[in-house]
């Protein structure tokens, strides 16, 4: 099991049964490849999971750490929290997965503080119960899963692909008058405003910018948005039937398919290079 597969397994809820020793060795050898946007995701996952051991040691009286509930309850003091409010937000701010992870990370720290306060009040058994059951466990597992999912997104551009595929449905809904979105031709025609465009100009460019296959993705994506802008302009001129026809045949569907194919090629080349 390589590094990306390790993250994929966590992102899927650890559904695959793997040889833990073999996996740990393989993943540890690739740890450097886990760094994206200033954060080593492997180290971040490991550090997050160690919170349970740290709190358990405190509860059992075997810890030498001086833990303070007023610090632990904050989500911007640990290394992951500092990254979330700095480079993480800058690079992943477009991602719903990032926002979910930030919210669950904040909840996790509140739960961790509750465990600590309970232990400091002398209620050892209750503190251990909070640590091993309920909201603390759920929040901790969610943070781990979302961190892994975020790494997979960065490595594969999966979320960007999904958002690209949704364009057809968004435009069709708009043309048919079923959309609540306010779309304008100038914005839709740009290739740097959508999720995929932000990935191309952000994390995707950082990881793959030197590859010829990435240049193909960038070029085809720009062409796609010009075609999408033409479809929208036709709809806004009142020619609904022609707009729907453009959406189904001709330049737009061809451009959309070419973007998806280019991304798949990029991902396949990266996988083959591992």
Which pLDDT value is given to residue 178?
A: 94
> Rounded CA gap, 2 and 110, in Å?
33
Q: Is residue 29 part of a domain?
A: no
Residues 128 and 66 in one domain: yes
Q: How confident is the model at residue 157 (pLDDT cuts 50, 70, 90)?
A: low
Residue ranges making up the domain that contains 190? 158-273
87-136: per-residue pLDDT in tens? 888 777 767 788 899 999 999 999 999 999 999 999 999 999 999 988 99
pLDDT of residue 32 exceeding 70: no
For residues 109 and 175, membership in a common domain is answered with no
Q: Taking the model in full, what pTM does it have?
A: 0.58
Cα–Cα distance for residue pair 151/19, rounded to 1 Å = 22
Q: pLDDT class for 25, splitting at 50, 70, 90? A: very low
The total of structural domains in the chain comes to: 2
| 159 has a pLDDT exceeding 70 | no
* Residues 83, 162 share a domain: no
Residues 185 and 229 in one domain: yes
Whether 72 is covered by a domain: the verdict is yes
Q: Are residues 102 and 126 located together in one domain of the fold? A: yes
In a domain, residue 244? The reply is: yes
| Whether 164 and 222 share a structural domain | yes
Domain containing residue 214: CATH number = 1.20.120.30
58 lies in a domain?
yes
**Is residue 168 situated within a structural domain?**
yes
CATH classification of the domain holding 103: 1.20.120
From 90, 122, 152, the end of a domain falls on 152
How many Cβ atoms from other residues are within 10 Å of residue 76's Cβ? 14
Take residue 174 and report the two structure tokens written for it.
């708009």
Lowest mean pLDDT of 35-49, 62-76, 128-142, 175-189, name the range: 35-49
Are 127 and 169 found together in one domain?
no
Q: What is the pLDDT of residue 15?
A: 60
DSSP the chain: --HHHHHHHHHTTS-S---HHHHHHHHHHTGGGGEETTEEHHHHHHHHHHHHHHHHHHHTT-------HHHHT-SSSSHHHHHIIIIIHHHHTT-HHHHHHHHHHHHHHHHHHHHHHHHHTT-HHHHHHHHHSTHHHHHHHHHHHHHHHHHHHHHH-HHHHHHHHTHHHHHHHHHTT-------HHHHT-SSSSHHHHHHHTHHHHHHTTSHHHHHHHHHHHHHHHHHHHHHHHHHTT-HHHHHHHHHSSHHHHHHHHHHHHHHHHHHHHHHH-
234 versus 194: the higher-pLDDT residue is: 234
How far apart CA 13 and CA 217 sit, in angstroms, is 31
Verify that 119 and 172 share a domain, yes or no.
no
Cα separation, 214 vs 263, in Å, equals 8
Name the average pLDDT for the chain: 85
Does 23 fall in a domain?
no
**Residue 30 pLDDT greater than 60, yes or no:** no
Same domain? For 170 and 132 the reply is: no
Q: What is the pLDDT of residue 119?
A: 94
pLDDT in the model for residue 31? 58
pLDDT in tens, 161-204: 777 888 999 999 999 999 999 999 999 999 998 888 888 888 78
**Predicted pLDDT at 273:** 58
């Amino acid at each position: 099991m390589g590094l990306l597969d390790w993250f994929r397994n966590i992102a899927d809820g650890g559904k695959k049964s793997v040889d833990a020793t073999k996996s740990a060795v393989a993943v540890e050898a690739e740890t450097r490849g886990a760094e994206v946007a200033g954060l080593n995701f492997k180290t971040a996952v490991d550090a997050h999971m160690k919170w349970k051991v740290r709190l358990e040691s405190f509860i059992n009286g075997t810890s030498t750490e001086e833990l303070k509930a007023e610090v632990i309850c904050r989500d911007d003091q640990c290394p992951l929290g500092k990254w979330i409010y700095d480079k993480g937000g800058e690079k992943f701010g477009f991602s719903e997965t990032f926002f979910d992870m930030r919210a669950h990370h904040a909840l996790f720290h509140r739960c961790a503080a509750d465990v600590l306060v309970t232990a400091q009040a002398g209620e050892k058994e209750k503190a251990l119960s909070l640590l091993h059951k309920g909201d603390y466990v759920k929040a901790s597992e969610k943070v781990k899963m979302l961190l892994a999912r975020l790494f997979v997104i960065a490595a594969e551009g999966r979320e960007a692909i999904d958002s690209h595929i949704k364009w057809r449905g968004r435009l069709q809904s708009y043309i048919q008058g079923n959309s609540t979105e306010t779309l304008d031709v100038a914005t839709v025609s740009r290739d740097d405003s959508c999720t995929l465009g932000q990935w191309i100009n952000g994390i995707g460019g950082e990881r793959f910018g030197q590859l010829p296959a990435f240049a193909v993705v960038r070029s085809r994506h720009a062409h796609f948005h010009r075609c999408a802008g033409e479809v929208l302009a036709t709809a806004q001129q009142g020619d609904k039937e022609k707009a729907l026809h453009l959406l189904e045949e001709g330049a737009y569907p061809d451009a959309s398919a070419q973007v998806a194919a280019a991304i798949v090629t990029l991902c396949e080349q990266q996988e083959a290079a591992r």
